[in-house]
Amino acid sequence: MDEKLSKVDPKLLDLLVCPLGKTRLTYDRQNNELISEAARLAYPIRDGIPIMLVSEARKIEN
C-alpha cells in the first residue's frame, strides 16, 4: 500500500462523523479505515478519500 494514499488529514478526521450514528470516528491505520464504534462499521479510505457511505462500510464483528 502506498503510504501517500493511506494518510488522512487530521483536520478532516475532526470534521467527519458516522453518517448513521452521527458519532466520532477513529482512524485505523493498519486497515486504512475510519471506524465507528457506536455503529460497529468501518468506512474504507480509497486513494486518500474516505468513503462515507453506509452501503460501502464493513460491519465490525466482535
CATH number at residue 49: 2.20.25.10
Torsion from C-alpha of 45, 46, 52, 58, nearest 10 degrees: -70
State the pLDDT at residue 43. 97
Q: Which residues, in sequence order, are CB contacts of 28 under 8 Å at separation 6+?
A: 34, 35, 42
Residue-number span of the structural domain to which 11 is assigned: 3-59
pLDDT in tens, the chain (62 residues): 444 445 677 788 889 999 999 999 999 999 999 999 999 999 999 988 899 999 999 999 97
Backbone angles phi, psi at 15, to 5 degrees: -90, -30
The tally of domains found in the chain comes to 1
Nearest to 33 by CA among 60, 15, 14: 60
